[in-house]
Structure 1
């Protein structure tokens, strides 16, 4: 499973990159709004830091305006993937961008039906939001499993990118279900490294070494 970092903070991205574990980055308007300075410059720096895909979301709500934004976004760097919300207008934009050879990430996906439509339109990635489904009492992992089953039934090439990952168990379950990728916030990524037995074992080794 590919691991992407869900962040627009360059320092966080550099810290994650140093671990040798991330293969891409996802951003959204909320994440970019938290960063100071010119957002395009920030994206350009991220794209230089990361060789893999960097998802950047359109803020327009009509297909024609989404296409205009997308044309500008892909000029920033060659590894830009255009994030498009899964709406009727978004599907139109995804289909047209696919025809133009521009990679897309269908975001705000909450059902297998939406994911299938995005794949049929030519999305490069679909991003089911696991945590947000859990927030409203639905089973986010069941939705991810449903999407994986449908995609395997028809050998769809669109990659399933598990998003809204809230904790290490979400990450583990996404991997067990065979998600193509997961995007995780820095706190979750760093938490994946932690285990109490690792700390206990290390302390014991060091103690024994000192007493030699």
Structure 2
């Protein structure tokens, strides 16, 4: 059995791509997209028509509507290739505006439902800012499920659990990037690999906290840099993996052991924590990595959204 098949027995595998032709090759249950992945996809000849069609049909209604329609058309195509859910991202420029995030999310869901897609097959992706988490709490109460992304800290995960969001996406690779860059010449790649990887340790702490305290929010490790980070999180609820790394897993016959275990987490001594807004903001302020990577991630998604809008114009 290859590592990808072994992983699927322990964890729900999700394809991290906007390229729906690649998705079919790996038979994931779910798929995730973001503005960067959609931008990459529409520059390929086989997907360019989706952008042209959205502009031709909806251009008169403004760029926001064209963007919504483009995201939903990609999502609908992806859903033809998977049995589960697709994640579709709200404009990152709304990351600090609860009302606007709720409004945009509802519009995206309305468009999916107009295409005959059941509400449970879509997760609305929102950045894990305080405002984004509050928007997600409101959407969840209305039956619209959310995927809280750009998540780098334990505080963000705790607040998402309090908000009863459906799923969180802690960014393993970007946490690793920050610590590696910060360490500079003193970084020891071998010593910081696998279970010692700072991104892996972050996800493990979140997973164990949720399972210990019966928090139903799903944990989906994301943004992987290497196969070792993935195998060190075998047993996590879900893992969203790029096609390149899915191919590496499929090509390997190395044994794969369960690394995370909900039953074991229940027996751990992990104190319960909650955050109000002031406590959340202070915890984020104390975490330089999370603060910097959240801001950087939002900026990067905004840049790619603006590039997409440029192509629409």
Match of 2:153 in 1: 111
Distance 1:194 1:35 in 2: 25
Match of 1:50 in 2: 82
More strand, by proportion: 1
- Does 1 or 2 have the higher relative contact order (CA < 8 Å, sep 6+)? 2
CA 150–45 in structure 1, closer or farther in 2 if over 3 Å, else same: same
Distance 2:176 2:82 in 1: 31
Give 1:166's match in structure 2, choosing from 225, 230, 239. Answer: 225
C-alpha contact 1:74 1:81 (8 A) present in aligned 2: no
Give 1:181's match in structure 2, choosing from 207, 219, 238. Answer: 238
Match of 2:35 in 1: 29
CA 2–144 in structure 1, closer or farther in 2 if over 3 Å, else same: same
Match of 2:141 in 1: 99
Offset at residue 196 of structure 1 (A): 7.8
C-alpha contact 2:164 2:216 (8 A) present in aligned 1: no
User: Greater CA deviation, 135-144 or 155-164?
Assistant: 135-144
Gapped regions of structure 2 (runs ≥ 5): 1-10, 43-49, 52-69, 181-197, 255-313
Match of 2:279 in 1: none
Distance 2:76 2:139 in 1: 21
Give 1:66's match in structure 2, choosing from 101, 116, 121. Answer: 101
CA 195–14 in structure 1, closer or farther in 2 if over 3 Å, else same: closer
Gapped regions of structure 1 (runs ≥ 5): 198-212
2:159 is paired with a residue of what secondary structure? helix
Distance 1:57 1:147 in 2: 23
Distance 1:14 1:103 in 2: 24
CA 80–136 in structure 1, closer or farther in 2 if over 3 Å, else same: same
C-alpha contact 1:112 1:150 (8 A) present in aligned 2: no
2:209 is equivalent to residue 150 of structure 1 = yes
C-alpha contact 2:169 2:219 (8 A) present in aligned 1: yes
1:49 is paired with a residue of what secondary structure? coil
TM-score (norm 2): 0.59
TM-score (norm 1): 0.85
Distance 1:193 1:92 in 2: 39
Match of 2:310 in 1: none
C-alpha contact 1:129 1:140 (8 A) present in aligned 2: yes
User: Greater CA deviation, 102-111 or 135-144?
Assistant: 135-144
Count, aligned residues: 191
